[in-house]
Amino acid sequence: MPPQAIDQYRRAFENHELTREQFDGLLNTVGDLSRQVEWFKRQLFGEKSERRLVEPDPQQGTLGQAFEAVASDAAEGKKTAVGAHERTRKANNAAAEGEDTRPFFDEAKVPVEVIELPSPEAAGLTAQQYEVVGQKVSHRLAQRPGSYVVLKYVRPVIKRHDTLALSCAPAPLGVIEGSRADVSFIAAMMVDKLVYHLPLYRQHQRLQAAGVRVSRQWLTQLMQSAVQLLEPVYDAHLAGVLSSRIKAMDETPIKAGVKAPGKMRTAYFWPIYGEHDEICLDRIC
């Protein structure tokens, strides 16, 4: 609490302008408000983050959520003893034997490779000496050295005996004419770059580690061509947001462009929010 406020209340109490209960209540109120103001001062709002703490506070959540913890500082020192207790957990026989009763993945998205393990008890026995009465299933999450695949299109060249003409099926058309990239690779590259913030140079390193030899500039050219293809989609999306009855706009500061040697200028993103939960970035300025 500020010393000036304490002295003011003390003089009022000494002059019999306040009772003891009023004086104590005012002190507690001012103390709580002072702690809340100090809590706000610890919150930094800058260009790199919407909320950044000078000293990390593991209890902090959204703005104002820690008021209860701040107000409880006055009661620090009071401790309540809690008796220790133990809970008995029921044994899961299926989990103990390595059997999964509920898959932890989406079978519609994750490919599953089935591996059948032979029973050691059936080794050396014929099919007439035993029978399979059931099975147990367990899952393990695995990863391949590379998640890329090369699509090899084999097109036979035929020659007709009646006309002696040669013919061959045309190569499948791609979204980018003459490019070696399939549409699935282009989409995954853009998602990794724009959604998961994986730079192109790291994607290039991952391609090299998987045995794919392409140039670093090829990824940049591929990204530029893909962005040009998406411009009509962006225009239609922006038109839909602007036609909303209720719109909201925000600005997000970033560093973009060179202002001086060794210093970047401040730019702003302008996201626009439509009434159908649509978000579109207008421009950077």
Query: Looking at the predicted structure, is the pLDDT value of residue 168 above 80?
Result: yes
CA–CA distance from 124 to each of 118, 131, 135, 136 (Å)? 11, 14, 20, 22
- What is the number of other CB atoms lying within 10 angstroms of the CB of residue 177? 7
Q: Which stretch, 82-91, 116-125, 210-219, 245-254, has highest mean pLDDT?
A: 210-219
Boundaries of every domain in the chain: 3-73, 174-243, 244-285
Task: Give dist(CA 75, CA 28) in Å, integer.
Answer: 12
Amino acid 208: pLDDT: 92
DSSP 186: H
Amino acid 4: pLDDT: 67
> Residues with Cβ < 8 Å from 42, sequence gap 6 or more?
53, 54, 55, 57
Mean local confidence (pLDDT), 127-136: 87
- What is the number of other CB atoms lying within 10 angstroms of the CB of residue 235? 11
Query: Looking at the predicted structure, is the pLDDT value of residue 32 above 70?
Result: yes
Beta strands in the chain (DSSP E): 43-44, 52-53, 157-159, 166-168, 248-249, 252-260, 263-273, 279-284
Instruction: Decide: helix, strand or coil at residue 230.
Output: helix
Name the pLDDT band for 183 (thresholds 50, 70, 90): very high
Query: Looking at the predicted structure, is the pLDDT value of residue 161 above 60?
Result: yes
Mean local confidence (pLDDT), 256-266: 84
Amino acid 199: pLDDT: 94
166, β-bridge pairs:
159
Amino acid 89: pLDDT: 65
Query: Looking at the predicted structure, is the pLDDT value of residue 51 above 50?
Result: no
Name the pLDDT band for 18 (thresholds 50, 70, 90): low
Listed residue (27, 51, 28, 31) closest to 40, CA to CA: 51
Listed residue (97, 100, 120, 98) closest to 112, CA to CA: 100
Instruction: Decide: helix, strand or coil at residue 6.
Output: helix
Task: Give dist(CA 106, CA 87) in Å, integer.
Answer: 33
Segment among 32-36, 81-85, 99-103, 226-230 with least mean pLDDT: 99-103
> Residues with Cβ < 8 Å from 5, sequence gap 6 or more?
30
DSSP 171: P
Task: Give dist(CA 190, CA 181) in Å, integer.
Answer: 13
Give pTM, 2 decimals.
Answer: 0.56
Which uninterrupted H or E stretch holds 46?
Answer: none
Segment among 96-100, 151-155, 222-226 with least mean pLDDT: 96-100
Segment among 27-36, 51-60, 209-218 with least mean pLDDT: 51-60
Amino acid 140: pLDDT: 87
Query: Looking at the predicted structure, is the pLDDT value of residue 224 above 50?
Result: yes
Q: What are phi and psi of 92, to 5 degrees?
A: -100, 105
Are 244 and 275 spatial neighbours (Cβ–Cβ below 8 Å)?
Answer: yes
Q: Which stretch, 15-29, 66-80, 155-169, has highest mean pLDDT?
A: 155-169
